[in-house]
Amino acid sequence: MERTEFIARVRACERRLYRVARTMLRREADCEDAVQEALLRAWAKLDTLRNEAYFETWLIRILINQCRMFYRRQPPVAAELTESVPAREDGRAPLMDALLALPEKPRVALELHYIEGYSVKECARMLAVPEGTVKWRLSRGRALLKRELGEEAQA
């Protein structure tokens, strides 16, 4: 893959990369850094891409690993979390607040499958887990979302 093709394919999925990073990392600066680091790593390891048809899946897998490394290096502080989550006046839907409140594994599975539109098989490939695990995380995530939104509706 040539440099120009790499750039074009990255630009085509740029927003998607940021959204995936945003579900894993709370601070915007960390999301931007993780996406940049993932792109640098992808360019350096481009020779490990076996099938160009799976470029986006491969790139998101690199991003997920990069986000996990960021999270391990800089665990979020409670004050930073509350500052980085905007108030309701910003027009953000309660669903997004509930999604961000979920644990990482079901949250990322829900993001990839329902928001980004990847199939269970593609999600499994990106997350490096069996398809059954993705299905379980989706089920668990839906149940947690339902509970989170149900409590919110009562408040």
Q: What is the CATH number of domain 1-85?
A: 1.10.1740
Name 55's Cβ contacts closer than 8 Å, sequence gap at least 6: 1, 9, 49
27 DSSP assignment: S
> Under CATH, which architecture does the 92-155 domain have?
Orthogonal Bundle (1.10)
pTM passes above 0.75: no
Share of the chain above pLDDT 70, in %: 83
Instruction: Tell me the residue type at 112.
Output: L
Q: Work out the end-to-end distance of the chain between its first and last CA atoms, rounded to an integer number of angstroms.
A: 53
Collapse the DSSP code of 150 into the 3-class scheme (helix H, G, I; strand E, B; otherwise coil) and give the result: helix
Digit-by-digit pLDDT tens for the chain (155 residues) are 888 999 999 999 999 999 889 888 878 888 899 999 999 999 999 998 888 888 998 999 999 989 888 777 764 443 343 344 444 455 556 777 788 888 889 999 998 888 888 899 999 998 999 999 999 999 999 999 888 887 655 54
Nearest to 59, CA basis, from 51, 86, 22: 51
Measure the CA–CA gap between 30 and 143, rounded to whole angstroms: 29
Question: pLDDT at position 35, please?
Answer: 93
